[in-house]
Amino acid sequence: MELYNITIGEYLKKTCRKFPNDIAIQSLEMPEGISWSKLDKITDDIAKGMLVLGLEKGDNLVLWGSNKKEWIYIFLAASKIGVCTVTLNTNYLLEEVEKILQMADAKAIAFMESFYNTNYVDIIEKIKRRYNEGICNIPEIMKYFIYFGEKNRPEYTGIDDLISLGKSLKEETFNSICNNIKPDEVVNIQFTSGTTSSPKGVMLTHYSLVNNSFITGKVLGVTNKDKLCLVVPFFHCFGLSVGILLSIGRGCSMVLVESYKITPLINTIKSFNCTVLHGVPTMFCRILEDDSIDINVFKSIRTGILAGANVTDELLDGIIGKMNIKDIQIAYGQTETSPGCTQTLNTDTIDKKYNSVGKPLPFVEMKVIDMDTKKQLPINNIGEICVRGFNVMKGYYKNDVLTRKTIDKEGWLHTGDLGFVDKEGYYHITGRIQDIIIRGGENINPHEIEEKLLLHPEISKVEVIGVPDKIYGEEIVACIILKPESFLSKEDIKEYVSQRLAHYKVPKYIEFYDEFPLTDTGKIKRHELKKFCERKFELRQSI
């Protein structure tokens, strides 16, 4: 095995040469599918249209949509011409979208009609009005609105419009632009929650994404004969790298499922006899707890990646024993590592599958360090996990200070995760240094929720923490001190947050306090508060 020094555009063409007529993408809405050669042609045509429209190498394009074929088209087209896609969470609401548009210096946004109860078109129009009224501060370079929804909306540039525009571009001009794209250039920015209030823009290159996806697929044993059921959201690094790009690298079919809803997932697996299924623990928990599901549906699935949150023994029992997915592999990583760092193997013992996250991927170095001395620790000692290799991000967008704090002078990325390595080289994750809450595979910054709640005129103080949950891994608790004479109810507070942040950021539990536990210097004892809530809600779950 060797590392590829190629761009995503070259990655796709490499697969087209090997399997031109094999099916690349299909879904319940498009059962006949499209071939790899057609996918390459469509994305070339869209890329030409983007150039004629006015996009060019180095521009940032925000991509907002669910697991649709058009999302893949736009991502690949942009990648071919050096336009960097900034992937946006499908659950975001107006204020969150505005913030990312501003932070990303977006020149364009590509979006669909709606997703669940969120109407993207309404949000886009509100942003445009707010900008004209001087209320919001989106970039002045924001010029292009690309629409890939199901309705006819002539006020925006559609996919067909881009293809028509591209016809005027000479082939030699297009080829020259594509050939000028380099593997070490940034192709994707993912804004992920951190311990600061502002999201961090993780910059990923062609090189890191191509190689992480290819190696993960090879270790998993995926071939061009496989059908990968792609339900993991594309906007996450998991869905983009281990989903779309893994399929390209291995030549296997992408079978698209728009969301985690169980019925379309089951119908898709049955209709196409999918052989590979990735997911976060929450998805598998829901499947196993739903008695109405015929587990035999999963008989065609032989393998997949399970990642995004801690995996319990009980869950693995269900996946391996009941669903009969014997070769499910546990992976560990984060957005900053494109995302994979470690992976279990089909040949690993049951003990290693259940009690570790596997060994480092080929060409990836890892170590565990003492948090104070920063020196490497011996085996079986808990410390901070550090990673170095092709998979490490280029840095945080326009944040050199945080980049230098995260990646040291020797190239080691400090993950903020706690764990240890055993004598056989297997890594074990024991916790997180940061306060990030991971609910159902989503990284949630508690400080973002705190800031929104503190804007409420009847709320005095807030601490947002995570507590263990059987289904989602963690749930959100908002610990609140109300102002005198306030009559806010728990439901009032949940409704307030739901109108301002994505649904998965709404606290499940609201706890009212007269005062918070404090240190001698007046700081809130978050750890003590967290322990109290963990005990309380652990008891509630067990009743």
Q: How far is CA 176 from CA 11, 44, 54, 168, 207, in A?
A: 17, 13, 17, 15, 20
Least reliable range by pLDDT among 268-282, 348-362, 436-450: 436-450
Say which CATH topology domain 437-542 has: GMP Synthetase; Chain A, domain 3 (3.30.300)
More confident residue, 63 or 537: 63
Please state, in angstroms and rounded to a whole number, the distance separating the CA atoms of residues 261 and 368.
38
pLDDT digits (tens, 9 = 90+) for 214-232: 999 999 999 999 999 999 9
- CA 144 from chain center: how many Å? 25
pLDDT at 539: 62
pLDDT at 138: 83
Task: Strand 303-306: give its sheet, edge to edge.
Answer: 34-35, 23-27, 253-256, 227-230, 276-277, 303-306, 327-333, 340-343, 359-360
pLDDT digits (tens, 9 = 90+) for 300-355: 999 999 998 778 888 999 999 999 999 999 999 999 999 999 999 999 998 999 99
pLDDT digits (tens, 9 = 90+) for 432-441: 787 789 999 8
Given a cut of 60, is residue 196 above it in pLDDT?
no
Give this prediction's pTM.
0.88
Structure tokens, 163? 């293809």
Least reliable range by pLDDT among 160-164, 240-244, 339-343, 446-450: 446-450
pLDDT at 540: 61
- Residue pair 497/506 in contact (Cβ under 8 Å)? The answer is yes
- CA 434 from chain center: how many Å? 18
pLDDT at 115: 95
pLDDT at 519: 67
More confident residue, 101 or 1: 101
At 54, the amino acid letter reads G
Please state, in angstroms and rounded to a whole number, the distance separating the CA atoms of residues 214 and 191.
23
More confident residue, 199 or 235: 235
Q: How confident is the model at residue 537 (pLDDT cuts 50, 70, 90)?
A: confident
At 433, the amino acid letter reads I
CA angle 426, 429, 433 (to 5 degrees): 140
Instruction: Write 5-8 long-range contacts (CB < 8 A, 24+).
Output: 5/183, 5/207, 6/183, 6/206, 6/210, 7/79, 7/80, 7/181, 7/182, 7/183, 7/185, 7/187, 7/206, 7/210, 8/76, 8/79, 8/80, 8/187, 8/206, 8/209, 8/210, 8/245, 8/248
pLDDT digits (tens, 9 = 90+) for 50-89: 999 999 999 999 999 999 999 999 999 999 999 999 999 9
Least reliable range by pLDDT among 254-263, 464-473, 523-532: 523-532
CA angle 99, 104, 108 (to 5 degrees): 100
Q: Is the peptide bond before 233 cis (omega within 30 degrees of 0)?
A: no
Given a cut of 70, is residue 541 above it in pLDDT?
no
Diameter of the chain measured on Cα atoms: 72
Please state, in angstroms and rounded to a whole number, the distance separating the CA atoms of residues 177 and 174.
5
- Residue pair 74/146 in contact (Cβ under 8 Å)? The answer is yes
Q: Which helix (H) or strand (E) holds 332?
A: strand 327-333
Given a cut of 60, is residue 444 above it in pLDDT?
yes
Q: How confident is the model at residue 278 (pLDDT cuts 50, 70, 90)?
A: very high
Please state, in angstroms and rounded to a whole number, the distance separating the CA atoms of residues 54 and 107.
10
Q: Would you say how long the chain is, in residues?
A: 543
pLDDT digits (tens, 9 = 90+) for 344-389: 999 999 899 999 999 999 999 999 999 889 999 999 999 999 999 9
Q: For the chain, give every domain's residue range.
A: 437-542
Please state, in angstroms and rounded to a whole number, the distance separating the CA atoms of residues 316 and 324.
10
pLDDT digits (tens, 9 = 90+) for 102-132: 999 999 999 999 999 999 999 999 999 998 8
Residues forming beta bridges with residue 333, ordered by sequence position = 340
Q: How confident is the model at residue 141 (pLDDT cuts 50, 70, 90)?
A: confident
